[in-house]
Chains A and B, each alone.
Chain A
Amino acid sequence: MSSSRWAIVVGALALGVAIPGTAGAHLERPSYWPDPAPDTAVSPPAGGAVPKARSLSSAVSRTPSVVARPGDVRVVCQGKRGATSIRLAQISIRRAQRDGFRVRPSQPVVRYTAKQARTMLSINRKLRDMCRFKTVQAAVTASGNNDRIVIMPGLYTEPQARKQPTNDERCRPLLQRDASGSPTPSYEYQVICPHDQNLVYLQGREVTGKPLSTPRSDRRGIPKQELGACVRCNVQIEGSGPQADDVIIDAGKDYAGSGPEARPGGHAKDVVLRVDRGDGFVGRNFLMRGAREHGFYTEETDGVLLDRTKFFWNADYGHLAFTSDHQLIQNCDGMGAGDAALYPGASPETGAQATDFYPDAPRMNTTVRRCDMRNSALGYSGSMGNAVRITENHIYGNTAGIASDTLSSSGHPGFPADSSQIDNNFIYANNFNVYSKDSPVKPLITVPIGTGVVYAGMNSARVHNNWFFDNWRFGTMLFAVPDALTSFGGPEGDVFPGVACAGAPGNGISTSCGNNYHDNRMGQVPPGFTYPAKLDEYKVPHGDPTREQLPNGTDFWWDEFPTNTGNCWYDNVGRDGTKGSVSGPGDAGRSPALPPNILPDCAGGENPAISIGLGDVAKEQYLLTCAEGPNATGPLPCDWYEAPTRPGSAQAAARSRAMAEASKAFARTPQAAELRARMQELAAAGASG
């Protein structure tokens, strides 16, 4: 190793230099993780586990054992005596029997049998007779603990909620201060002015005292002074049609096109459905569409099951969960998000940094499975996405598939992100150029076009047994987000022990350690695989899936950040089925690695201690430039916002050569020398400090 390279290592050790993250993050009230134990003040207890859904048929059953279940059923419908809803139900049931439908675009068509059709029609007729509500909000407001709301087919625009003012004067005094001292709506604000931001609002708990004037640094447990009793815990909301599209809760307006995937030209409210401290919530079989921010939004909630829900054309996030525990999102479909289709952020510290607040840790606190996350800037995102499992999903047609980061620390407790698990997914054709002029999705964030997974400051993650193919820039990216970058004022809330990077957080380098990538298939197409039609519908570039190989631009990219340890890539196979065909940073020539290197396999994962980042000034500069977004003027060009070229093409090869040459040239420039000097200077300051 050259002395100059060691200098960079030493410099960065004490410096905590800055690398860009890519997840979008967002602004929240000072937020706390709920007590993970079940709340036994209600019966059955709320939270403490992922809630179980009650069947649709039980809503109309007269069987004593079923009726004996706690909670009242409220039915929402449209038309005089539900005439519109029952007509829509009949049409959809008939279609489900005749033509079938897809729960999500990547899955085969399912068809109703005649018996299923008869049963569904019978249930809906009974529901029509039970219907007393015309709006979802009215039914929610009338509900209490353990109650359930069944929504019959129809388009629910919630006219009364839409009429309510934003920035409501009545609630201005209920703004509270976040950790930065800036105003933000408190829980009480949402309760008193539920439609200031939300189309439908579910208040889970009573309002008791005021929020703490200064947020508590220990975010474990909602402060008792403001934690009221359950008023709407264990609530279930579900649609009664054969498919989620049959019930649309809609915050949009001025639509272009028709059908469930019609695109709004404007937004009436920021959020479609907000579930606030609503422990034990079940949402099933409906579509949330057209919000200025998020389709589904839950905060400080213990116990959430979302099953067969859809999130279309919500401008920021399709789904957003924040500081919430015991969550399962499954069989979902999300698209049209300017940030991410799904986002479980600031999730509890139930992984490597767990404390005795979570006696059953380590455990996954949130699982996303069997979902399509597509046609968005990001399929999935999660700042401080601790201990989230992403499994058995199809993630395709996005600008980048998955991003989880530590960057957006402000407002996001749980620093640094750790213990994410991505396994057994299909991650492909994430080449959606959201930055083109004619993109139907309007980007809110800056992410690299053509990338499968971006970990920007993640620890102790496992990425395994996935299929990554046809992502034209990178299969996966891993890079550090040193502490100085996170919010330059320190992380939000306390940092708990268990940070994977040695010496952290004291040494200022707390991220990008202990990550394992193994048993992934890179650049191979699964046998019998076909691409969902949604790729072509939104003009996402992709290869021919009838081929056996559709390579990624570079399979694995790592910034090799100095001192990062324990990052291992092993037992992965490349496009021809061999380990040797896996492409790493520099090997494919598409990344500014100097020199090209082979990723550490840690003796097949048995010896992670031998993986130590050595630093690469060209890579750091590449990231620095790209972090500044489009049109940046750094000394190395950033290609993130240009449509990537098809791997293997002459144009791709030319670009790779150009990038490699630019990287080598940069390393010899005065700017590179200055960058090294700054690192050394800051390192020296850190050492003396």
Chain B
Amino acid sequence: MRRAGAAVLAAVAAAVAVGCGDDERAPEAAQPVGPAQAQPVGDVSGGSTAQFADCGDWKAGSRAEREATVRELRGQFTPQRSKSAASPLADERAYEIFENACAPDYSESLRLYKLYVKVQGFAPLSG
């Protein structure tokens, strides 16, 4: 069920926000993502697409969905309660890296989050 989870994801975000009632709620994970309400690519599992989204999903997604994917990953891997939670990896750069890494045929199965955690820290050096 690739890319079938948009409605599920939105409902999950709402349910978690209501269900836990935590005033420290991380805004990026709770709020609708991005322009035109585009949803991240990939299957929803456990309330997020981050676990399963892969390069195949990436290539099948629209630009808006891909951008939403980058935002979703940033939200997943940026502890919002940390004082230093600003990401040094620009979304545009992450997008570009996914575009390159997902281009070869053999990349179809690469999980985006596994790639993201590797490249996110390079921003301080990669300029």
Q: Which 4 A-B pairs have the closest CB atoms?
A: A181-B26, A485-B121, A183-B47, A629-B101
**From B81, B101, B123, contact of A630 by CB (8 A):** B101
Which residues of A have CB within 8 Å of B109? 338, 442-444
Considering the complex, give the chain A residue whose CB is closest to the CB of B97: A628
A490 touches B82 (CB 8 A): yes
- How many chain-B residues does the 8 Å CB contact rule pick out? 69
Query: Which among B100, B107, B108, B118 has the highest number of chain A CB atoms within 10 Å?
Result: B118
A182 touches B75 (CB 8 A): yes
Contact sample, A vs B, 11 pairs, CB 8 Å cutoff: A15-B124, A17-B125, A167-B45, A175-B12, A175-B47, A182-B47, A197-B46, A213-B24, A293-B51, A488-B78, A675-B127
A181 touches B89 (CB 8 A): no
**Bound-complex Cα distance A181 to B78 (A):** 9
**Bound-complex Cα distance A176 to B12 (A):** 11
Which residues of A have CB within 8 Å of B60? none
B50 touches A488 (CB 8 A): no
**Bound-complex Cα distance A16 to B125 (A):** 10
Q: Given A175-B15, A181-B25, A446-B118, do A674 and B127 touch, yes or no (CB 8 Å)?
A: yes
Considering the complex, give the chain B residue whose CB is closest to the CB of A17: B125
**From B79, B103, B125, contact of A489 by CB (8 A):** B79
| Chain A binding surface, main DSSP class | loop
A669 at the interface (CB under 8 A from B): no
B16 touches A175 (CB 8 A): yes
* 0/1 interface trace, chain A 390-417, chain B, CB 8 Å (1 if under): 0000000000000000011010000000
B122 touches A181 (CB 8 A): no
A632 at the interface (CB under 8 A from B): yes
Considering the complex, give the chain A residue whose CB is closest to the CB of B18: A173
Q: How many A-B residue pairs have CB under 8 A?
A: 228
* 0/1 interface trace, chain A 329-354, chain B, CB 8 Å (1 if under): 00000000011000000000000000
A25 touches B45 (CB 8 A): no
A488 touches B29 (CB 8 A): no
A410 touches B122 (CB 8 A): no
**Bound-complex Cα distance A181 to B75 (A):** 8
**Bound-complex Cα distance A443 to B122 (A):** 22
Residues 71-127 (chain B) with a chain A CB within 8 angstroms: 75-89, 97, 100-101, 103-111, 113-115, 117-127
A122 at the interface (CB under 8 A from B): no
Q: Given A487-B77, A631-B103, do A444 and B110 touch, yes or no (CB 8 Å)?
A: yes
Residues 1-60 (chain B) with a chain A CB within 8 angstroms: 5, 8, 11-13, 15-16, 18-22, 24-30, 44-48, 50-52, 54
* 0/1 interface trace, chain A 428-463, chain B, CB 8 Å (1 if under): 000000011101001111100000000000000000
Considering the complex, give the chain A residue whose CB is closest to the CB of B93: A628
Which residues of B have CB within 8 Å of A21? 117-118
Considering the complex, give the chain B residue whose CB is closest to the CB of A626: B118
A185 at the interface (CB under 8 A from B): yes
Q: Given A17-B125, A21-B118, A627-B119, do A183 and B111 touch, yes or no (CB 8 Å)?
A: no
Which residues of A have CB within 8 Å of B22? 177, 213-214
Give me 11 other A-B pairs in contact (C-beta within 8 A), A175-B12, A489-B85 excluded. Answer: A18-B123, A183-B12, A339-B114, A407-B117, A487-B120, A488-B86, A489-B78, A624-B125, A628-B97, A628-B122, A630-B107
Interface residues in chain B, defined as those with a beta carbon under 8 Å from any beta carbon in chain A: 5, 8, 11-13, 15-16, 18-22, 24-30, 44-48, 50-52, 54, 75-89, 97, 100-101, 103-111, 113-115, 117-127
Give A662 Cβ to nearest chain B Cβ, in Å.
Answer: 18
**Bound-complex Cα distance A444 to B116 (A):** 12
**Bound-complex Cα distance A486 to B77 (A):** 10
Which residues of B have CB within 8 Å of A484? 88, 121, 124
Give A304 Cβ to nearest chain B Cβ, in Å.
Answer: 23
Give B49 Cβ to nearest chain A Cβ, in Å.
Answer: 11
Residues 181-218 (chain A) with a chain B CB within 8 angstroms: 181-185, 189, 197, 213-214
A627 touches B127 (CB 8 A): no
A629 touches B122 (CB 8 A): no
**From B27, B89, B110, contact of A446 by CB (8 A):** B110
A181 touches B47 (CB 8 A): no
Which residues of A have CB within 8 Å of B12? 167, 172, 175, 183
Which residues of B have CB within 8 Å of A410? 76-77, 79, 117
**Bound-complex Cα distance A452 to B80 (A):** 37
Considering the complex, give the chain B residue whose CB is closest to the CB of A490: B82
Query: Which among B25, B48, B84, B125 has the highest number of chain A CB atoms within 10 Å?
Result: B125
B121 touches A185 (CB 8 A): no
A678 touches B85 (CB 8 A): no
A179 at the interface (CB under 8 A from B): yes
Considering the complex, give the chain B residue whose CB is closest to the CB of A444: B111
Which residues of A have CB within 8 Å of B45? 166-167, 197, 270
**Bound-complex Cα distance A25 to B116 (A):** 11
Give B126 Cβ to nearest chain A Cβ, in Å.
Answer: 6
Considering the complex, give the chain A residue whose CB is closest to the CB of B24: A214
Q: Given A177-B20, A197-B46, A628-B119, do A444 and B127 touch, yes or no (CB 8 Å)?
A: no
A68 at the interface (CB under 8 A from B): no
**Bound-complex Cα distance A481 to B120 (A):** 12
A180 touches B29 (CB 8 A): yes
Give A628 Cβ to nearest chain B Cβ, in Å.
Answer: 5
B111 touches A445 (CB 8 A): yes
Which residues of A have CB within 8 Å of B101? 446, 628-632
Give B39 Cβ to nearest chain A Cβ, in Å.
Answer: 14
A439 touches B100 (CB 8 A): no
**From B15, B18, B85, B122, contact of A18 by CB (8 A):** B122
Considering the complex, give the chain B residue whose CB is closest to the CB of A172: B15
A26 at the interface (CB under 8 A from B): yes
Considering the complex, give the chain A residue whose CB is closest to the CB of B30: A181
A27 touches B122 (CB 8 A): no
Give B118 Cβ to nearest chain A Cβ, in Å.
Answer: 5
**Bound-complex Cα distance A183 to B25 (A):** 11
